[in-house]
Amino acid sequence: MEYEMEELLPLVEKLTFKYTSGDSSSVTYETARMLMEAILYCIREYDREGSEFGIRTNEKTDAATAYKLGFEAVTAKVYKTKELYHTILEEFEDYGCRNLRNTVIEGMPAFFLWYDPKFKPQDHLLTLDYPALRPVNDLCGVDAIYQYLHNIKIESDFLKAFGSVQVEELLERVMPDYRNLYYDNISYEVLLTVVGCIAANKPVGRLRLTKKDLSAVEEYFKGDSEETAEMKINSLLSDMFRRVYFDNGEMERYFCYLGREYAVRILNGLRHNSLPQIFYII
């Protein structure tokens, strides 16, 4: 929803008055820009969440109302995000990975402590150093933090099906000092190993493949094009998500894009005799 500058400037003026506690009506250009961005962020939030408000009609909502309701939506999302975070913490496992722990356990509370929905809702404060599989680079503010935690929750639920010892042993094969030096996504390597285990008809929960197992993996994908291998991978993962996780489709949709990437890596491994480096065999 677009608004003319004459509709937005009075909102900036009122927010500036609050920002300076009534001491001044003038601020630096940088501050004025920050406050304008705050107003636009809330209006965009109203656009995204507006269907939850009973007053939306086919007519355009005036800027002041859109900002007011958008600010309420931002505030509500902060509480929603905090509830999600507490849910994650109930069974959170970092598998000894310092980057994951520093990001989710040590760093995340700073967002709830310092986030400013009134004057700077567009700033989510954190660098989110642990990479979730689905990036949130196109989002900012509480929207970025909520989506990031939503992604972490899906990944955590996926990893819960495996013993922490098995996950840690896999990460040690990937990088011996993974606890201090691993900066990639844990679910990525676990799911890739799952693909190998299913293809080799090995117990998935152990997350272990030997050199002998790779012959079965090679036979499973022998002669496949990238498209065929991708279809095979997506099919076996879809079946696993339904049977093991009783997934309603959300987890499958979250991970589905990896089918193509895994197919390319595995077929390249077959062509160049490098499957042991892809599956980190024992």
Q: Which residue ranges make up each domain of the chain?
A: 162-282
The arithmetic mean of pLDDT across residues 162-182, rounded, is 97
Interval 139-156: pLDDT, tens? 999 999 999 999 999 999
Query: Residue 184 pLDDT more than 90?
Result: yes
- DSSP code for 237: H
The arithmetic mean of pLDDT across residues 55-64, rounded, is 71
Interval 113-138: pLDDT, tens? 999 999 999 999 999 999 999 999 99
Distances 56 to 17, 39, 73, 96, 268 between C-alpha atoms, Å: 29, 19, 14, 48, 53
Phi/psi region, residue 280 (left: phi>0; alpha: psi -120 to 50; beta: rest), is left
Identify the residue with better confidence: 232 or 49: 232
The arithmetic mean of pLDDT across residues 38-59, rounded, is 75
Answer yes or no: are the C-beta atoms of 148 and 156 closer than 8 Å.
no
Interval 186-216: pLDDT, tens? 999 999 999 999 999 999 999 999 999 999 9
Q: Confidence class of residue 282 from pLDDT cuts 50, 70 and 90?
A: confident
Query: Residue 54 pLDDT more than 70?
Result: no
pTM: 0.94
The whole-number pLDDT of residue 50 equals: 63
The whole-number pLDDT of residue 49 equals: 74
Q: Please enumerate in sequence order all residues whose Cβ is within 8 A of that of 257, keeping only pairs 6 or more positions apart, or say none.
A: none
Rg (CA), the chain: 24
The whole-number pLDDT of residue 57 equals: 47
The arithmetic mean of pLDDT across residues 77-86, rounded, is 98
Average confidence score pLDDT of the chain? 93
- The dihedral through the CA atoms of 177, 162, 151, 78 has a sign that is negative
Q: Confidence class of residue 26 from pLDDT cuts 50, 70 and 90?
A: confident
